Amino acid sequence: MHDTRNGNPASRSRNPVLILIPLALTLLIVAEAFAGGDDSAVAVTNSCVECHSNPDFLVTAKKLYDYYQEWDLSVHRQEGVDCEDCHGGNSDARDKKQAHGTEVSGGLAAGSTVSFENIPSTCGGCHDDIYQGFRKSDHIAHIVKKKQEKQGPNCVTCHGSMNTVILNVNTVKETCQRCHNEASGNHPEIPDTASEILNRFLSIQRYYRYIGIRGEPAETQAFFAVMDERIRDLSVLWHTFDLPKIEKETRFVLDLLKTKRAEVRDHQRSETP
């Protein structure tokens, strides 16, 4: 991951033409920003973003436009994860052919970084611990091209392509149900179990926040040092989809948090007369 939006002055300063192009583009974008009132575009100097953000695509290539919008609203964008981090290509080249090179291709092309089979390892480039968890899951054997071959879910099935959707109690059920249902006969009990587990994830977050806000630092520091790691491990464990194990571990972590919350509460009560 590299933040191309800040450009790379060292490599550009050698060639005056390369200085002028971004300058001209910046002026263009600033002019556009004034016209469109969109100040988020001002700092951009990434050719993928510049070209793909063209509003004309809304009319001429709606799908292309939608993908750009999805990224634009994503956590990844906020974190400086750019198009080329997932798609490859050269974000300094202004010309489409040069920018795309041989690496950038659509999800249906074999060998594409975003083909159905390659998505987990592409995402795993940054989310390695979760990817390693996912590799242990029963789903990994089903990361195959075609639905008829009993296709399983890959990262994008649950998280969206770029907008990195985080499922909640209701949407997780719907997502699992797409494949685990009575008609398919593929473990129809799974969606309810998943929903319960995710509910426990949310309780864990709630208790965690409570202790963080109400607890005295001296009282909670050691606790959080252990707990943070446990919660990170839970995310990795979730992605193995070993449901009995996840049930057990989420209950265990929730119990630890409940006990600590009771302690923090008692402490507060003893201090307020």
Residues 176-195 that bind ligand HEC (CB under 6 A): 176, 178-180, 186-187, 190, 194
Task: Decide if 165 contacts 159 (C-beta within 8 A).
Answer: yes
Which span sits near ligand HEC by CB under 6 A: 20-28, 42-50, 249-257, 265-273? 42-50
- 260 counts as binding ligand HEC under rule CB under 6 A: no
Stretch that binds ligand HEC, among 16-24, 31-39, 160-168, 252-260 (CB under 6 A): 160-168
Residues 217-236 that bind ligand HEC (CB under 6 A): 235
How many CB atoms sit inside 10 A of residue 238's CB?
22
**Could you say which residues in the range 59-118 bind ligand HEC, by CB under 6 A?**
64, 67-68, 71, 75-76, 79, 81, 83-87, 89-91, 96, 99-100, 104-108, 114
Q: Does 5 bind ligand HEC (CB under 6 A)?
A: no
Give the nearer residue to ligand HEC in terms of CB position, either 106 or 111: 106
Could you tell me which residues come within 8 angstroms of residue 106 by beta carbon, excluding any fewer than 6 positions away? 112, 114
Least distance from ligand HEC to the Cβ atom of residue 144, Å = 9
Exposure string for 28-54, b = 16+ CB within 10 A, e = fewer: ebeebbeeeeeeeeeebbbbbbbbbbe
Looking at the chain, how many residues does it have?
273
Rounded distance between C-alpha atoms, residue 45 and residue 22, angstroms: 7
Considering the complex, state which of residue 45 and residue 154 has its C-beta at the smaller distance from ligand HEC: 154
Interface segment toward ligand HEC; rule CB under 6 A; list 14-22, 151-159, 222-230, 249-257? 151-159
The tokens describing 128, both together, are 């390695």
Cβ burial 178-196 (10 Å sphere, 16+ → b, else e): ebbeeeeeeeeebbebbbe
Is residue 25 within the footprint of ligand HEC (CB under 6 A)? no
- As measured in angstroms, the least distance from the Cβ of 214 to ligand HEC is 23
CB nearer to ligand HEC: give 19 or 190: 190
Of residues 116-145, which lie at the interface with ligand HEC (CB under 6 A)?
119-120, 122-127, 130-131, 134, 138-139, 142
With contact defined as beta carbons under 8 Å apart, do 52 and 64 qualify?
yes
Is 257 in contact with 227 (CB distance < 8 Å)? yes
41, 31 contact by CB (below 8 A): no
Q: Which is nearer to ligand HEC, 162 or 211 (CB)?
A: 162
Closest by CA to 78, choosing from 164, 188, 156, 9, is 164
